[in-house]
Amino acid sequence: MTMARMLTATLSVVVAALTPASAQEFYANKTITMIIGSNPGGGYDLYARALVRHYARHIPGEPNIVVQHMPGAGSVNLANHLYTRAPKDGLTIGMIFPGVVVGPLFDERMEARFKPTEFVYLGSANNSTRVCATYVTSKTRTFADALARETVMGGDAPGGSLFDYLQFLRREVGAQFKIVRGYRGSVDILLSMERQEIEGICGLDWSSLRTQRPQWVTDKRMHVILQTGLDDHAGLSSEGVPNIWKFVKDAESRSVLELILGQQVFGRPFLLPPGVPAERVAVLRRAFDDTVADKAFLGDAEKMGLEVTPASGARVQDLVERMYSSPPNIVKRAREALQP
């Protein structure tokens, strides 16, 4: 062996000794904490738990995964935690409302201590279609009714979709919604509808509504009056549920609503704090993509009534960056449409 080859071999051994364990080895015997920014029992909880049951199998080393909840302020509390306090080691994953990702874009008063473009997105489990629905006893049975009569609707906090969608439908489309705000989430609003304390809900993912209240679908105990999404939902359209675009009359309004509704592409976003090492990001993103294509996961999701139309981490990352580069006049009008 030549002297050059001996030096090269020696350097290789030294570098190998100094290099930390690869991301492929890092997760062995580790525990990942999955934190959900909502209360137990809702749609986000269901999606996260379905993912967790299969995710570890696709991560080299098969780490343990534990689930925690950090509700509050429409999951802003969790976003602040991930950005400012959570370890940046790839062992903490968050699932927040998509409204929080776009929140600082739309509301300058939002108590956000994070920059959404700096989070690392692993992907989204669903490109969601959100709906407005009223209980069977409501006199509002179509969206045309909602344009003509006052309808009492339950909402959460500004920044949460269950409030924000009611608000922009009032301001940009003309719905006569009276918002009763302060509900903790969809579970409480749906219960209040059953008690006939309020008439309906908006901004809830169709898959979540079907999962939380399947008997409402089978027994026709609700009126689904509107679907919102960049594209039509085939099943809802076949039932005659109109998309929001039927009620949008001018190009600028459409641009405003496309900016607001763009968040539905990442309807169930999973993300990491900024600064996680790139090799660990790559491992977790690849595992996410493999999980949402896993037949066992898809089978579980189907049994639970969860729609899975995933978006990759790279696609979500790009979309968030493009939304934050939108023209100022469109952003201004979107902000006005969502102001409480």
Residue 3 clears pLDDT 70, i.e. is over it = no
Structure tokens of 120?
Answer: 């690392």
Could you check whether 23-127+265-338 and 130-262 share the same CATH topology?
Answer: yes
Cβ(127)–Cβ(308) below 8 Å: no
- DSSP symbol at 298: H
Cβ(55)–Cβ(287) below 8 Å: yes
Output the pTM of the full model.
Answer: 0.73
- DSSP symbol at 21: P
Residue recorded with tokens 């952003």? 331
Per-residue model confidence as pLDDT tens digits over 243-253: 999 999 899 99
Q: How confident is the model at residue 211 (pLDDT cuts 50, 70, 90)?
A: confident
CA end-to-end distance (rounded Å), the chain: 76
pLDDT, the chain, mean: 90
Domain 130-262 is found in CATH 3.40.50.300: no
Q: Is 20 or 153 the better-scoring residue by pLDDT?
A: 153
Q: Which residues contact 45 (CB under 8 A, 6 or more apart)?
A: 36, 38, 39, 69
Q: Is 272 or 14 the better-scoring residue by pLDDT?
A: 272
Which pLDDT score is estimated for 57?
97
DSSP H helices, 233-277, are 234-238, 251-261
Partnered with residue 34 across adjacent β-strands are: 67, 93
Residues 182-206 have a mean pLDDT of 95
CATH of domain 23-127+265-338: 3.40.190.150
Residue recorded with tokens 């700096």? 118
Closest CA to 331 of 252, 259, 266: 259
Q: How confident is the model at residue 122 (pLDDT cuts 50, 70, 90)?
A: very high
The whole-angstrom separation of Cα 7 and Cα 4 is 5
Which pLDDT score is estimated for 287?
98
Structure tokens of 95?
Answer: 């699932």
For the chain, the C-alpha Rg in angstroms (whole number) is 22
Of 36-40, 61-65, 177-181, the least confident: 36-40
DSSP 22-87: PHHHHTTT-EEEEEESS-TTSHHHHHHHHHHHHHGGGSTT--EEEEEE---GGGHHHHHHHHHTS-
Q: Which residues contact 219 (CB under 8 A, 6 or more apart)?
A: none
Residue 8 clears pLDDT 60, i.e. is over it = no
Q: How confident is the model at residue 73 (pLDDT cuts 50, 70, 90)?
A: confident
Partnered with residue 121 across adjacent β-strands are: 271
The whole-angstrom separation of Cα 225 and Cα 147 is 11
Instruction: Give the helix/strand (H/E) hosting 153.
Output: strand 151-154
Closest CA to 146 of 247, 258, 259: 247
The whole-angstrom separation of Cα 325 and Cα 333 is 15
- Residues found in the chain: 340
Which pLDDT score is estimated for 12?
37
Per-residue model confidence as pLDDT tens digits over 263-303: 888 989 999 999 999 999 999 999 999 999 999 999 999 99
Burial pattern 116-149, b for ≥16 Cβ within 10 A else e, equals beebbbbbbbbbbbbbbbbbeebebebbebbbee
Residue 161 clears pLDDT 90, i.e. is over it = no
* 3-class secondary structure, 227: strand
For the chain, give every domain's residue range. 23-127+265-338, 130-262
- What share of the chain in percent tops pLDDT 90? 72
